[in-house]
């Protein structure tokens, strides 16, 4: 019995659908003769439009003339190709498979008065076999917020509203002070690009300059001059001067100190509506704790994924990697277009070769595909523990809705919730949250103090992904990834708050 109707014809039936390997399936198909004959007619019309046959106008060439010039098998093959191309998306939807590459087609019957028969061998996303991951040991920083951490974060916030005031003339510059300096740098007696400046404002201890440069200024007073020599770091962007000795003449013109505002009701007006300082600190502590919980979970999940990636035996299919490479390259191209920057200039700014650039894209693509397949396998492994209940989906909707105050935003959210795909997307969000929680509970956690961030002397440059960096770390790539619609962006904003 034929399974689909297209253009008034009973079109095709799937005679068999079987897995022939972990990531391969074979479909045996039959297309009705009525549908195939229609495509044969279309093939004749298309050939007649393009063929150059003496004595006949294009589009007016009889079938028998086309047969004698091109051969009947050619026409039947063209009709078969048109048929398969048109029906293939429907066939794949019905088959329940998710191909990662073009199919291998083998035509088994191709006659004008019989159904068209063919086989389609398709490569699928592999179902990887997970190594043992439950009970492994992972390191994680504590989720709690100490009084010292809370105070440090509050002080960081106060720094955004700080004022700079001149220090006494005889005070020596110290870490945390802002100095206005003139400096002139030379290599082998010649000035070099970026080595000189006038009235440059520098916060000592900010690691804006090379550590030796900033350290040499500490202890200097207003009006004082100094000459220093240092070796430029190997990892600076300008390779032609990296590792070379540079001589600097430095003049300290002014020293200012940062003065923080008092943490009082007047200051809190900058931050929101708080009745008391205690109200603010309590809410701020809660936000920090949520942030640290998220960071802790990311540490744990990252180590679980690394453990699985190192111990898994499955190979990542090349077509999936190539597809992801293409997507990444398109994203970079679009980003560069918006910045009005050529790809070559971008590579030059990164100070790497094109070969290295392409290699890094491939490494990123392979990593993202591997993580995607690992998460799919984990979802299957933990399926019984991560089902989304109606109550959990309703709670997730409430949480999303409650974080918006504007009527316009609430209206958009309500409209989004009414769409059929919203239920599925929110269900997936709940399942992913439950999966992460389940994975966290499945391992042995070794508490450790948070490590200090590493400092890189090399100045960072813009990259097309920079604006999306935070989101990419939090969002798993999938082959179906797309630019979010407006209602999706509202939900994403909610997650990033």
Write out pLDDT tens, residues 147-168.
Answer: 999 999 999 999 999 999 999 8
Q: What is the pLDDT of residues 333-356, one digit of tens each?
A: 999 999 999 999 999 888 889 999
| CA of residue 275 relative to chain centroid, distance | 40
User: Pick from 294, 325, 374: which is nearest to 127 by CA?
Assistant: 374
466 and 398 in a common domain: yes
**How far, in Å, CA of 238 to CA of 187, rounded?**
13
Residue 129: band (very low, low, confident or very high) from pLDDT cuts 50, 70, 90: very high
What is the distance between the alpha carbons of residues 1 and 22, in angstroms, rounded to a whole number? Answer: 29
CA distance 218 to 200: 15
- Model confidence at 469, pLDDT cuts 50, 70, 90, reads very low
Q: Is the pLDDT of residue 383 over 90?
A: yes
CA within 13 Å, CB half, 488: 9
pLDDT at 405: 82
Q: Which residues pair with 166 in a beta bridge?
A: 256
Are 461 and 344 contained in the same domain? Answer: yes
Of 232, 259, 286, the one marking the end of a domain is: 259
Predicted pLDDT at 6: 54
**Tokens describing residue 171:** 């005070």
Which of 437, 435, 446, 374 lies closest to 138, judged by CA?
A: 446
pLDDT at 463 over 60: no
pLDDT of residue 461: 31
CA distance readout (Å), 467 to 57, 268, 470, 486? 58, 29, 8, 18
Structural domain count of the chain: 4
Structure tokens at 408: 């316009």
Work out the burial of residue 29: count CB atoms within 10 Å of its CB; fewer than 13 is exposed, 13-18 middle, 19 or more buried: buried
CB 179 within 8 A of CB 199: no
The size of the chain, in residues, is: 497
Angle at 366 between CA 360 and CA 372, to 5 degrees: 135
pLDDT digits 0-9 by tens, 226-263: 999 998 887 776 777 888 899 999 999 999 999 999 99
For 350-415, the DSSP string reads: HT--HHHHHHHHHHHHHHHHHHHHHHHHHHHHTGGG-PPPHHHHHHHHHHHHHT--SHHHHHHHHH
Nearest to 125 by CA among 24, 27, 28: 24
**Rounded to whole angstroms, how far apart are CA atoms 349 and 461?**
8
Asked if the model's pLDDT at residue 60 lies above 60, the reply is: yes
Q: Is the pLDDT at 372 greater than 50, yes or no?
A: yes
pLDDT digits (tens, 9 = 90+) for 288-319: 999 999 999 999 999 999 999 999 999 899 99
Query: Do 310 and 449 fall within a single domain?
Result: no
Return the closest-CA partner of residue 466 out of 335, 333, 328, 291.
335
pLDDT value for 209? 84
Average of per-residue pLDDT values in the chain: 86
pLDDT band at 477 (very low <50, low <70, confident <90, very high): very low
pLDDT at 478 over 70: no
> How buried is residue 199: exposed, middle or buried, by Cβ count under 10 Å (0-12/13-18/19+)?
exposed
User: For the domain that residue 236 is a member of, what is the CATH number?
Assistant: 3.10.50.40
**Region of residue 62 (phi > 0: left; psi between -120 and 50: alpha; otherwise: beta):** beta
Confidence of residue 451 (pLDDT cuts 50, 70, 90): low
Q: How far apart are CA 219 and CA 171, in angstroms?
A: 9
Distance CA 150, CA 300 (A): 23
- Average pLDDT (42-69) is 92
pLDDT at position 202 over 50: yes
The mean pLDDT of 257-271, rounded to a whole number, is 91
349 shares a domain with 305:
no
Asked whether residue 246 falls in the same domain as residue 324, the answer is no
Report pLDDT for 238: 74
Same domain, 323 and 299: no
More confident residue, 191 or 472: 191
Q: Is 465 or 248 the better-scoring residue by pLDDT? A: 248
Residue 106, classed as helix, strand or coil, is strand
Q: Which among 294, 314, 334 is the end of a domain?
A: 314
Assign residue 30 the CATH number of its domain.
Answer: 3.30.70.1050
Rounded mean pLDDT of 469-478?
Answer: 43
Residue 432 has pLDDT above 80, yes or no: yes
Examine the domain organization and report whether 400 and 465 are in the same domain: yes
pLDDT category at 392 given cuts 50, 70, 90 is: very high
Kindly state whether residues 302 and 172 are assigned to the same domain.
no
What's the rounded mean pLDDT across residues 71-97? 95
Looking at 314, 345, 378, the residue that finishes a domain is 314
Q: Which helix (H) or strand (E) holds 66?
A: helix 63-70
Tell me the residue range of the domain where 186 lies.
163-259
Do 10 and 66 share a structural domain? yes
Give the model's confidence band at 135: pLDDT under 50 very low, under 70 low, under 90 confident, else very high.
Answer: very high
Q: Are residues 295 and 410 in the same domain?
A: no
Q: In this model, does residue 30 exceed pLDDT 80?
A: yes
Of 88-97, 183-192, 203-212, 318-327, the poorest mean pLDDT is in 203-212
Phi, psi dihedral angles at 201 (to 5 degrees): -95, 120
Query: How far is the C-alpha of 306 from the C-alpha of 371, rounded, in Å?
Result: 9
CA separation for the pair 112, 108 (Å, rounded): 13
Question: What pLDDT, on the 0 to 100 scale, is given for residue 149?
Answer: 92
359 and 284, same domain (yes or no): no
Give 273's contacts (C-beta < 8 A, 6+ positions apart). none
Report CA 447 to chain centroid distance, whole Å: 29
Shared domain check, 134 and 90: no
């Amino acid at each position: 019995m034929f399974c689909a109707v297209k253009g008034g014809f009973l079109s095709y039936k799937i005679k068999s659908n079987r897995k022939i390997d972990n990531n391969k399936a074979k479909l045996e198909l039959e297309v009705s003769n009525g549908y195939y004959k229609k495509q044969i007619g279309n093939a004749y019309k298309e050939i007649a439009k393009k063929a150059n046959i003496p004595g006949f106008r294009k589009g007016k060439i009889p079938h028998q003339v086309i047969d004698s010039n091109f051969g009947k098998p050619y026409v039947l093959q063209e009709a078969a190709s048109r048929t398969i191309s048109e029906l293939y998306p429907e066939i794949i939807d019905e088959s329940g498979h998710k191909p990662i590459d073009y199919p291998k087609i083998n035509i088994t019957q191709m006659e004008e008065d019989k159904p068209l028969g063919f086989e389609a061998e398709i490569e699928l996303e592999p179902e990887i076999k997970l190594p043992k991951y439950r009970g492994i040991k992972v390191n994680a920083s504590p989720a709690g917020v100490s009084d010292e951490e809370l105070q440090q974060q509050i002080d960081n916030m106060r720094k955004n509203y700080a004022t700079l005031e001149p220090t006494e003339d005889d005070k020596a510059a110290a870490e945390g002070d802002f100095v206005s300096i003139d400096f002139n740098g030379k290599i082998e007696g010649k000035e070099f690009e970026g080595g000189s400046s006038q009235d440059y404002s520098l916060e000592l201890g900010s690691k804006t300059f090379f550590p030796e440069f900033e350290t040499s200024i500490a202890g200097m007073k207003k009006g004082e001059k100094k000459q220093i020599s240092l070796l430029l770091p190997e990892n600076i962007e300008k390779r032609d001067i990296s590792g070379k000795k540079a001589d600097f003449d430095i003049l300290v013109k002014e020293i200012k100190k940062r003065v923080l505002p008092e943490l009082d009701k007047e200051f809190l007006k900058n931050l929101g509506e708080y009745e008391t300082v205690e109200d603010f600190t309590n809410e701020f502590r809660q936000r920090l704790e949520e942030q640290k919980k998220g960071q802790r979970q990311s540490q744990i999940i990252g180590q679980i994924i690394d453990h699985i990636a190192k111990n898994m035996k499955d190979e990542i299919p090349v077509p999936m990697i190539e597809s992801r490479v293409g997507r990444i390259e398109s994203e970079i191209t679009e980003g560069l277009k918006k910045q009005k920057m050529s790809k070559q200039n971008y590579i030059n700014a990164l100070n790497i070769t094109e070969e290295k650039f392409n290699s890094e894209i491939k490494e990123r693509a392979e990593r993202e595909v591997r993580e995607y397949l690992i998460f799919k396998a984990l979802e299957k492994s933990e399926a019984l523990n991560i089902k989304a209940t109606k109550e959990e989906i309703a709670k997730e909707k409430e949480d999303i809705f409650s974080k918006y105050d504007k009527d316009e935003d609430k209206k958009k959210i309500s409209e989004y919730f009414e769409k059929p795909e919203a239920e599925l997307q929110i269900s997936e969000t709940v399942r992913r949250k439950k999966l992460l929680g389940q994975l966290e509970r499945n391992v042995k956690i070794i508490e450790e103090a948070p490590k200090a961030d590493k400092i890189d002397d090399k100045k960072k440059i813009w990259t097309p992904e920079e604006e999306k960096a935070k989101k990419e770390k939090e969002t798993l790539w999938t082959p179906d990834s797309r630019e979010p619609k407006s209602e999706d962006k509202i939900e994403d904003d909610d997650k990033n708050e």
